[in-house]
Amino acid sequence: MTSIQIALVNRIIDPILDKLHSLGLIGSLAYKYSLFEKNIDGLITINGVEYPIEIKGQLQMAMLPNLLEQKKNYPNLILAAQDIPEKVKSTLREQQFNYMDVNGNMFLKLPNTYVFIENKNKKATLPKSTDLAFTKKGLIVVYYLLSTPELVNEPQRSIAQISSTSLDTVNKVLVSLRAQGYIRKRNEKEFRLDQKRNLFLKWIDSYEQRLKPSLFAGRYRFQNIEKESAWNQIDLNEASFWGGEPGADLLTNYLQPAVFQLYSTETKVDLMKNYRFIPDPKGNIYVHIPFAENLVTVERTNPLLVYADMIYSGDPRNLEVAERINDAYIKTILD
């Protein structure tokens, strides 16, 4: 580790160690550079027993599949983070995944040790993002770059036209991505989109928190249970396509949807008339307006959006199916 990396880790670890010391639990901590195991960040001793620890900054829902995969090799793995959103903490507890954050929130279910602390009134004081690539309009440009990486070498005016955004937005996004190392020079004339997987995970978190909520168009339910069971026989027109769980089933044939995500530009009246949906604030059909045209790419859905929906749902069964989508579709797009 460099001195900067150690300082960043200490900023997360120190308040956590203080909390553990106050509980009389902590023994010692060792960092990755002193370990034979290279796929964990360190070891922490609690009640005389040594456990593997993984250290993160701002934890995002999109990180969970990799962490859950890591947990298979280290069943007692402890996650230490700067901040863990409520939804992520809930999912971690469902998965019996040990965690601690700098605000004193803690879930440890270890041999001879059980601690659960929830400081609901304490919020992490993280700086607001000023990243111009992850504004609402910027996210649309980033999506097109991820789905079609060769766009980085197209004129900015062409990117603006394809993404239906302004030339100014495209310029700001490209400048930001270059500054962060997501766009690098291939040679004197060409650029390449780099670290696409990391960029996509960052996109998912920002999309779900900033862009998608602004596109929410209402909740509905099926007319009856028979209609819900036969959801895949609904003949959607060109203005609508499935995301989330139904989209995942279309891509994998491995899931019976319980919550239905529909992307649509159809009006409330059209949805009721065409599909017999009934408006219901507690319904299990969530309708969002798609953020761009021509998002349907495979099986009347969009693997990138379906993967984002499944990851951010926090449902353990959806995380499993998300990995199938990753293997079948996302790797081809991003790798």
CATH number at residue 113: 3.40.1350
Residue 288: φ, ψ to 5°: -125, 145
* Within a domain: 310: yes
How many folded domains does the chain comprise? 3
* Within a domain: 206: no
* Same-domain check for residues 92 and 169: no
* Within a domain: 204: no
* Within a domain: 145: yes
Apex 129 CA angle, 145 and 13, nearest 5: 110
pTM of the entire predicted model: 0.75
* Same-domain check for residues 71 and 95: yes
* Same-domain check for residues 220 and 327: yes
Q: Of how many residues is the chain composed?
A: 335
CA distance 311 to 326: 11
* Same-domain check for residues 143 and 235: no
* Same-domain check for residues 141 and 110: no
* Same-domain check for residues 184 and 238: no
* Within a domain: 207: no
The pLDDT tens digits for 91-100 are 999 999 999 9
* Same-domain check for residues 15 and 86: yes
* Within a domain: 71: yes
Last residue of one domain, picked from the residues 194, 228, 243: 194
Quick one: 15 exposed, middle or buried, by C-beta within 10 A (0-12, 13-18, 19+)? Answer: middle
CATH number at residue 166: 1.10.10
* Same-domain check for residues 147 and 107: no
Residue 152 is predicted with a pLDDT of: 95
Identify which has the larger pLDDT, 329 or 5. Answer: 329
Residue 120 is predicted with a pLDDT of: 67
Residue 255 is predicted with a pLDDT of: 92
| Closest by CA position to 330, among listed 222, 204, 157, 170 | 204
Full residue range of the structural domain in which residue 179 is found: 132-194
* Same-domain check for residues 11 and 72: yes
Residue 28 is predicted with a pLDDT of: 63
Residue 294 is predicted with a pLDDT of: 87
Q: Is the pLDDT of residue 61 over 90?
A: no
Q: State the average pLDDT for the chain.
A: 88
* Within a domain: 240: yes
| Closest by CA position to 74, among listed 41, 104, 48, 102 | 41
* Same-domain check for residues 182 and 220: no
* Same-domain check for residues 169 and 265: no
* Same-domain check for residues 232 and 329: yes
pLDDT band at 11 (very low <50, low <70, confident <90, very high): confident
Residue 128 is predicted with a pLDDT of: 47
* Within a domain: 150: yes
The pLDDT tens digits for 158-216 are 999 999 999 999 999 999 999 999 999 988 889 999 999 999 999 998 999 889 998 99
The pLDDT tens digits for 103-136 are 899 999 998 789 999 986 554 444 445 688 899 9
